[in-house]
Amino acid sequence: MKIAVPTNDGLSISEHFGRSAGFLVFETENDRIVSSELRKNQGLEDHEGSSCGGDPAVEPHSHGAILLSLTGCDVVICAGMGARAAEALKQEGVREVVFTHSGLAAEAVEAYLKGRLQVSSQQFCRCSH
């Protein structure tokens, strides 16, 4: 199973899913992390200056490029995201979006694998999504 976590520094969970610099993608087997890779957020430029800032006059952005960064991922663990992004992930086959607090990405993945993170139906960022 592949689990993606948005990050700006390659270690910790980014506060904003779409504006993160990249995604740590953890490969897991038998409830253990076996490897990880850092993927660049291919949608970062599209996401900056978009309607995420809360300006209703700005056109909504597409999440297509972000989804390319997450190809093959089954689960996304994040601190929050917009409802449109969550729906786009679901439509592309990500089976769970799990919300947690900021912290180290690897620790959040380990907590998920041990059943300590609950899948939540909603948690959106504070930027007027």
Q: What is the pTM of this model?
A: 0.83
Residue 51 has a pLDDT of 45
- Please, what are the domains in the chain? 2-113 (3.30.420.130)
Residue 121 has a pLDDT of 55
Q: What is the pLDDT of residues 54-108, one digit of tens each?
A: 444 444 456 778 899 999 999 999 988 888 888 889 999 999 988 888 899 999 9
DSSP at 63? -
DSSP calls for 22-46: EEEEEEEETTEEEEEEEEE-TTHHH
**What's the token pair of residue 1?**
């199973």
Q: What is the pLDDT of residues 2-33, one digit of tens each?
A: 999 999 999 999 988 888 999 999 999 999 99
Q: What is the pLDDT of residues 34-57, one digit of tens each?
A: 999 999 998 876 545 444 444 444
Closest CA to 78 of 115, 117, 49: 117
